[in-house]
Amino acid sequence: MAERFNFPDGFAWGTATAAHQVEGNNVNSDYWVIEHTPRTPFIEPSGDACDQYHRYAEDIAMLAQLGFNTYRFSIEWARIEPEEGHFSRAELDHYRRVLAACHEHRIAPMVTFHHFTSPRWVAGDGGWDDRKTADRFARYCEHAAKYLGDLIASACTINEANLGAYQYLIGMTRERIDPARSRWFSEAARRIGADPNRFAPYLMCDHMKARDTMLEAHRLAAPAIKSCGHRFPVGITLALSDFQAAPGGAARLKKIRTECQDIFFEVARGDDFVGVQTYTRDRIGPDGALPPEPGVEKTMMGYEFWPEALEGTIRRASTIAQVPVIVTENGIAAADDSRRVEYVRRALNGVARCIKDGIPLHGYIYWSMLDNYEWNSGYRPTFGLAAVDFKTLGRTIRPSARWLGEIARANAIEI
C-alpha cells in the first residue's frame, strides 16, 4: 500500500542551471574561446544558449507557477571581472535584477560563484593549475557577495570542485592535456595571448593540481562570501558518483573515494551544508571505472539509468561531512519524458528513506530547469523540465515539470 511521506517544513524544491549553459554569449570566458577554436572537442559552440541573460524573468516566473520555491543558478566571473581588478557594476546590477526577480516570485535564490567557466585572463595566467587562482577567486567572491549579498538566500562557492580529479582517477581523462601534442589546445591559448603551458581552464588542466587549487579556493571563498555580513548558508557542491566495487576493484575504489570524495567532505565539515550532485553509479575495477553493465538501461549521456545512486551518495556525504546535505543537482537527459519521471520518482524515494533515517537533508534541486548547453556534447542531451526550441528560444513545459512541481507544492510524495 502506498504511504504518503511528508518532507520537512522549509524543504527546498528547486531546479538548477549554470550561467555559461543558459545565459548565452559568455564571450569573455575561457570556454567560449575553446568552443570556437578549430578542431575543438566541443561538438558545437554555446552561442545564444537559452538567452536566459534576457529571459530570466519569464523563467523564474515559470518556476514559481510550477510550484518550486528555489532556483540555483551561477553568476559569471568572466562577466563580473572581465579584466583583473575591474569589477563591472553593470553586470553586478544585472545579477541584482535576477535576484530581485526571484524574490518577487517567492523563489529563494541559491547562487553558485563558479560553475566551470573562468575569465580568459584567469585561465591564461596559470588558471586552476596555479595556487594564485584561489586568491583571485576569493577576491571576486568577496566583491560580488558585498554587492549582492542582501538578496542571496544561500551560496555555493564552487560547482563540482572535485570533478576533474574524479574523472582522472576513474580513468576517464588523462592527467593533463599535453599542449605540444594538442593543436586545438595550444591554438586556444594562442588566441588569448597565453603560453599554452600556462593555459589551464578548469577540467582541462592538471586535474590533481586543480583539485588542490579548488580546495584552497573554497577555503578562502567561504569566509570571503560570509564577510558581506548577510547571514545565509554557504557550502560547496561535489560530483558524487555512487562507486561500487567490481571484482578486483576494492583497492582502486578506496583510492578514488579517498582522493576525490573524502578529502572534500572533510573540508565541508566547516561549512553550513554540502551539495550532493549525483547522476549515476560507477562500477570500479582494478584499473578504474568499467563500462556500463550490459543490460542496464542507458541515459542520453550514456550513463547507466541508476536513480538509487543518489541515496548512496547522500548517506556517504552526510556520514563523513557531518553537516546538512542539499541535493544541489540530480537529473537525467532523456528523450522520453516519462523516463525522467521514473528516474526522479525513484531518486526521491531514496531521499525520503534518508530523511526517515534522520539524515539532515534540506532540499532537492533538479538539473535542469531547461534543456541547455551540455558542454562538449552541445545541445543534444535534453535534461530540461522545460524544452527549449533553440531556433526561436521558446520554452515548452514538459509533463515531468508539472509532476515535480506538484510534489514541491504538496511537499509530499507517495512512497
Per CB under 6 A, residues contacting ligand BGC are 18, 21, 159-160, 239, 277, 329, 367, 374, 383
Q: Which is nearer to ligand BGC, 221 or 365 (CB)?
A: 365
Name the minimum Å distance from CB 367 to ligand BGC.
5
Nearest to 77 by CA among 33, 124, 140, 145: 140
Whether 84 sits among the annotated catalytic residues: the reply is no
Choose, from 81, 160, 304, 374, the residue flagged as catalytic. Answer: 160
Q: Which residue is nearest to ligand BGC (CB)?
A: 18
In this structure, are residues 305 and 341 in contact, taking their beta carbons and an 8 Å threshold?
Answer: no
Whether the CB-CB separation of 26 and 83 falls below 8 Å is answered with: no
As a whole number of angstroms, the longest Cα–Cα distance in the chain is: 65
How many CB atoms are closer than 10 A to CB 400? 24
Helical spans, DSSP H, in 278-336: 309-321
Residue 21 or 261: the one with the smaller Cβ distance to ligand BGC is: 21
For cell 556517504, the residue is: 316
For residue 94, the minimal CB distance to ligand BGC (Å) is: 21
CA distance 76 to 278: 23
C-alpha cell at 203: 577540467
Q: How far is the CB of 374 from ligand BGC (least distance, A)?
A: 5
Q: Output 17 or 40, the one with its CB closest to ligand BGC.
A: 17
Q: CB 329 → ligand BGC: shortest distance, Å?
A: 6
Q: Which is nearer to ligand BGC, 125 or 282 (CB)?
A: 282
Is 13 or 367 the residue whose CB approaches ligand BGC more closely? 367
Q: How far is the CB of 302 from ligand BGC (least distance, A)?
A: 11
**∠ Cα 136 142 146 (to 5°):** 150
Cβ closer to ligand BGC: 160 or 271? 160
In sequence order, the β-bridge partners of residue 134 are none
Q: What angle do CA 337, 9, 272 make, to 5 degrees?
A: 90
Tell me the closest approach of the beta carbon of residue 277 to ligand BGC, in angstroms: 6
Angle at 161 between CA 159 and CA 163, to 5 degrees: 100
User: Which residues pair with residue 73 across a beta bridge?
Assistant: 111
Q: Which conformational region is residue 399 in: left (phi greater than 0), alpha (psi within -120 to 50 degrees), or beta?
A: alpha
Of the pair 21, 46, the CB lying nearest ligand BGC is at 21
Alpha helices, DSSP H only, in 67-200? 77-80, 89-104, 120-123, 132-148, 163-169, 183-191
Q: Which is nearer to ligand BGC, 186 or 313 (CB)?
A: 313
**Contact between 409 and 2 (Cβ < 8 Å):** no
Nine cell digits for residue 180: 605540444
The distance from CA 80 to its chain's CA centroid, rounded to whole angstroms, is 19
Q: What is the SS3 assignment for 16-40?
A: ECCHHHHCCCCCCEHHHHHHCCCCC
Tell me the closest approach of the beta carbon of residue 335 to ligand BGC, in angstroms: 15
Rounded to a whole number of angstroms, the minimum distance from the CB of residue 279 to ligand BGC is 6
Pairing of strands 70-74, 12-16: parallel
- Catalytic annotation, residues: 160
